[in-house]
Amino acid sequence: MTGNGDDGALLMQSVLRRIRDEIFDGTLEPGASLSVPGLAARLDVSRSPVREAVQQLVMDGLAVYTPRVGAKVAVLDDAMLRHVFEVREVLDGLAARQATVRVTRAQLAELAERVREQERLLETEPDHRRDAELDLDFHTAVRSLSGNAPLCDALLKLDIQSHLYRSDMWSHEDNRRHAVTEHRRIVAALDVGDVDEADRAARAHAAGVLVRLLRT
């Protein structure tokens, strides 16, 4: 039987997803107030799950809290985006190195299929949300192969923060093709068991994404 505690946790997660989606789709813009009473009234829930959800957003780096002012949606400018990707570049390289020595043939085949799916979609019209999610799914899969939970958690937080940066990167055909080429290079390095090349390929991809984000 599910207790009240479980119900409360599920409600908080539901509220968290709703607020996070509004941040990602721009309904709640960077700098927007995250008033607990206001959000609770608008979402038609009690204040407690909203308060917990906002606290989680602060922990995830999607919101900032100032005493006597309250929480606001975080602002990710060019300088902060560079800092985020400087860290991501190093950690993604480490994740790729660790994944190289642990990945199985079956997992390699799955990664290769993910890249082929991205290649097939290059023949279709761009879809910002779809293409961004496919990119994140690929990286999440590679990182999970590292077997390093703290590393995966740190990279997930960096990915969440980078969503704050408004960009139409995935709307450009050349950017989509560059991403696929770079993903293919990462898989190839894992396939041959070259840890140094896997590290370089993952770092180069993160560096390239940053340049393309700032270029658009």
Amino acid 132: pLDDT: 86
The answer to whether residues 84 and 164 touch, using CB atoms and an 8 Å cutoff, is no
Kindly report, residue by residue over 103-134, the tens digit of the pLDDT. 999 999 999 999 999 999 999 999 888 888 89
Which residue, chain included where needed, has tokens 């602002």? 75
Which residue, chain included where needed, has tokens 């890249």? 115
**Residue 2 confidence class, pLDDT cut points 50, 70, 90:** very low
> Which residues are CB-neighbours of 18 under 8 A, at least 6 positions away?
43
Write down the mean pLDDT value for the chain. 93
Amino acid 5: pLDDT: 66
As a whole-number percent, the residues of the chain with pLDDT over 70 amount to 97
- Three-state secondary structure call for residue 67: coil
The answer to whether residues 182 and 208 touch, using CB atoms and an 8 Å cutoff, is yes
Find the mean pLDDT for residues 204-214: 95
As a whole-number percent, the residues of the chain with pLDDT over 90 amount to 78
pLDDT at position 76 over 70: yes
Find the mean pLDDT for residues 56-78: 93
pLDDT at position 1 over 60: no
The answer to whether residues 34 and 63 touch, using CB atoms and an 8 Å cutoff, is yes
User: How many residues can be counted in the chain?
Assistant: 216
User: When comparing pLDDT for 7 and 5, which is higher?
Assistant: 7
**Hey, what amino acid is at 187?**
V
Amino acid 165: pLDDT: 87
Tokens for 93?
């390289």
pLDDT at position 4 over 70: no
Q: CB neighbours (10 Å) of residue 136? A: 15
Kindly report, residue by residue over 137-178, the tens digit of the pLDDT. 999 999 999 999 999 999 999 988 888 887 788 889 999 999
- How far the first Cα of the chain sits from its last, in Å, is 51
**Residue 216 confidence class, pLDDT cut points 50, 70, 90:** low
Using a 10 angstrom Cβ sphere, with 0-12 exposed, 13-18 middle and 19 or more buried, the burial of residue 15 is buried
